[in-house]
Amino acid sequence: MFGDFLQDIQHRFTPETYNLLTHNCNHFTNECSMFLLGEPIPDRILHQLEEVLSTPLGALLRPAIAAMQSTLGGAGGRS
């Protein structure tokens, strides 16, 4: 059953669709949590990186994170 779920979502969680900000391991975990438990992971975890980037220090880190995303390839344009 869980294996079937993973097969159903595998096309949405690939190296090409990965994005450090908008489509990362926390988003995958959230979908698994919804399937297994019927409830999402806490927003503070799901949106952890966006929260950090909203701080003054985070704003300074944003270009470095964008550069890392570019190096990784994938969905770097989605944010």
Instruction: Indicate whether 76 pLDDT > 60.
Output: no
Name the pLDDT band for 70 (thresholds 50, 70, 90). Answer: confident
Q: Where are the alpha helices (DSSP H) in 12-74?
A: 25-37, 43-46, 48-53, 56-72
Residue 68 has pLDDT above 90, yes or no: no
Handedness of CA 57, 58, 62, 68 (dihedral sign): positive
pLDDT of amino acid 65:
84
Domains and CATH numbers, the chain: 14-72 (3.90.1720.30)
Backbone CA torsion sign across 43, 48, 51, 53: negative
pLDDT tens digits, one per residue of 15-56: 889 888 889 999 999 999 999 999 999 999 999 888 888 999
